[in-house]
Structures are given as C-alpha cells and as structure tokens.
Amino acid sequence: MSHLQRGVFLDLATVDRDDLDLTELRASLPVWSFHEHTEPDQRLGRIGDAEVIVTNKVELNAEVLTAAPRLRLVCAAATGTNNIDVEAARRLGIVVSNARDYATDSVVQHVFALLLTLVTQLDAYRADIRAGRWSASDQFCLLDHPIGTVAGMRLGIIGWGVLGRATARVAEAFGMEVLVAESLNPDRAAQEDRVPLERLLGQCDVISLHCPLTATTRHLIDDAALRQMRPGALLLNTARGGLVDPEALARYLRSGHLGGAGIDVLEPEPPPADHPLLADDIPNLILTPHTAWAARTARQRVIDEVTANIHGYASDQPRNVVE
Ligand SMILES: NC(=O)c1ccc[n+]([C@@H]2O[C@H](COP(=O)([O-])OP(=O)(O)OC[C@H]3O[C@@H](n4cnc5c(N)ncnc54)[C@H](O)[C@@H]3O)[C@@H](O)[C@H]2O)c1
Ligand SMILES: O=C(O)[C@H](O)CO
C-alpha cells in the first residue's frame, strides 16, 4: 500500500457547480485542499507538499512538476492530458492518470447536435422566426435554406478511440457511411481498413476529430488539409482547439469552400475576444464553449474516475496511466 496524505484539486469549479457528490473523493485522502480556479502564479504555493494533484485544465509543465517536492500522482479530471507534461512526469517518477469513457454519451450527442444543426439549417430557420418571416410568409413553411440529410453522407473519423468509435456507431444508425483515418503515430498497431488522411479528407462529406492534441497532431487540419476537403464538406471538432488552424478555418468558411463547421474547442480557452473564430462574419460556423463533455452525469463520473484512480494508486494498482 502507498500511503498518501495530501491532495490538492486546482480547478474544481471547472467540474462541479455544487451539483455533484464529492463524498468519496473527499474520503480518498486524509487531507484535501480544494480550489475553484488556480492562476499560473498560484500553482506552486497551492501544491506545496501535496502528493496528489487533481487538475482539469491547469497547466502542469516540467518546471511546476519538478518544483513539487512530494508529488507522486497527477489525476487529470479529463480525458485529454495536453495540459500536463507527461514526459517530464515520467522522468520524475510521477504517475499521470486520466479519466476514460466518462463522457461518451455526452460528447457523442454533442457531435450530432452540431452536425444536425448544420445539416437542418436550424439556426437560420430560428433566426427567420425571430425576425417575423414565418408569420409574414404566404405559405405554411419556409424553404429558404437548403436542408440536407445525414443519411447517405460519408463521415471521416480521425482518432479511433472511445469517442471516435462511439460516434461511428451512432453515425451508422443514422445511415451514414464511416471511414477511419490512419493514425499519424507510426507506432500504432496494424491499420488495415484505415484510409490515409489525405484520401479521407477528399472523400468525406463530414470530418469529425477525436484524436488527442500532441506535437504531431497540432494544426493537423491546416490550410492544406482544408483545401483537400470536398467543396461543401463539414468539419466537426469536439477534441482540442489546437488540432485546427483557426485562421485557415475562418478563410475556408468565408470563401464557401467548406459548407460549415461545428466547433466545441478553441485554443486558448477561454478564447480572447479577437480570436479568429469569434469574428461575427463567419458563415455556417457553430461554436459551443467546450461543453461537449459537460452533462451532469459525465461530470459526476469524472469525479468518480479521479477517486478510483487515487484508490488504484494507493493500493499499488495504478489505473488509467497515461503513457
Ligand atoms: N470536448 C470535450 O468535451 C471532450 C471530452 C472528452 C474528450 N475530449 C477530447 O477527445 C479526445 C479523444 O478522447 P477519447 O476518449 O476518444 O480518447 P482515446 O484515447 O480513447 O482515443 C484517442 C484515439 O486517437 C488516436 N490517435 C492518437 N494520435 C493520433 C494521430 N496522430 N492520428 C490519428 N489518431 C490518433 C489514438 O490511437 C486513440 O485511438 C481526448 O484526447 C480529448 O482531447 C474532448
Ligand atoms: O478532455 C476532456 O475530458 C474534456 O476536455 C473535459 O475536460
């Protein structure tokens, strides 16, 4: 058994809005400090001699990890761990655990909320109603914005993990054809049935991103990738903002080459007011504020996953270790 004394949760308010049960988490260690948010210059003071850090989005770089004298376990209250220097943690003998498969229902319904909103022109018709166009119409319905059907569309998935696979299952139920991109990571196991990224981009009506943000995947969807996408194709990003070059995406939406985009994640977050994708003249862009994961059930599950990761480490059976 590994005896752990003290834990610090650096950004509890990003998970809990006083609607979650933290009893088990609080009981998992003798001493806890919970902080709603932590600014970069507050990190070291708050970490102190903690052996366990829980973070959703506070950055833990090599400098911070090196300066934490007793740190043994970092629990990401998230699946994505791009805010944590996992390599530095490994060198320092610190275990990093994440939360897996905790928000699958929430993220997948969000992917389809974005896709169906684009394909049905929901926003445009709601704006028409608010502007009085339905009441003023000479017929029972409005037909001003062309409506597609997802059935028959070809969906390209980039990132064949928990969320990519779950998205594919729902897509098939909608009558979509699914193609899966080869992983760019050369260490990945056999990739039969996968399609090279370039071909996937050129053959699909919808591209949905589900891979982690790493040095290799940063700006995976750049100017060249957007150019390869079919005219009128749709881009969905519920993974990480850094996967997409925002200036390039704004250009391809403005030019009409892309039919639309549904984006839940930007870089940085929160985005500055002058972020290229916050401009108000970009057509067919639906933005949501990183809420794909945020159903209450999923937020409770992420707390339960963190608790299980602490218990796993304490009983010498670390779980969900990020390699
Ligand atoms: N918006 C949200 O609310 C939200 C919620 C949960 C997760 N996420 C993001 O979604 C990502 C995926 O989550 P998941 O649960 O499916 O993770 P996962 O680890 O199960 O799947 C990720 C997959 O991406 C693959 N991959 C890695 N590098 C790749 C590359 N270069 N090219 C193609 N594929 C590559 C991996 O092999 C793996 O199969 C997370 O890393 C996180 O950043 C976002
Ligand atoms: O990676 C995740 O799990 C989401 O971004 C929520 O933190």
Q: Domains of the chain: which residue ranges?
A: 6-102+296-314, 104-287
pTM: 0.97
- Spacing, Cα 80 to ligand 1 middle (Å): 7
Residue 189: the pLDDT is: 58
> What is the SS3 string spanning 196-226?
CHHHHHHHCCEEEECCCCCCCCCCCECHHHH
Residue 214: the pLDDT is: 97
**What ipTM does this complex have?**
0.99
Residue 167: the pLDDT is: 98
Residue 37 CA, distance from chain mean position: 20
Residue 177: the pLDDT is: 98
- Give the chain's residues under pLDDT 70: 184-192
230-239 tens-digit pLDDT? 999 999 999 9
Instruction: Classify residue 98 as left (phi > 0), alpha (psi -120 to 50) or beta.
Output: beta
Identify which of 207, 211, 297 to mutate to test ligand 1's pocket (most ligand atoms within 8 A of the CB): 211
- For domain 6-102+296-314, which architecture applies? 3-Layer(aba) Sandwich (3.40)
pLDDT > 70 fraction of the chain, expressed in percent and rounded: 97
State the closest ligand 1 atom to the C-alpha of 182, by its place in the atom list counted from 1: 33
On the question of a common fold for 6-102+296-314 and 104-287, the answer reads yes
Residue 186: the pLDDT is: 57
Closest residue to atom 6 of ligand 2, CA basis: 78
Superfamily of domain 104-287, CATH level 4: NAD(P)-binding Rossmann-like Domain (3.40.50.720)
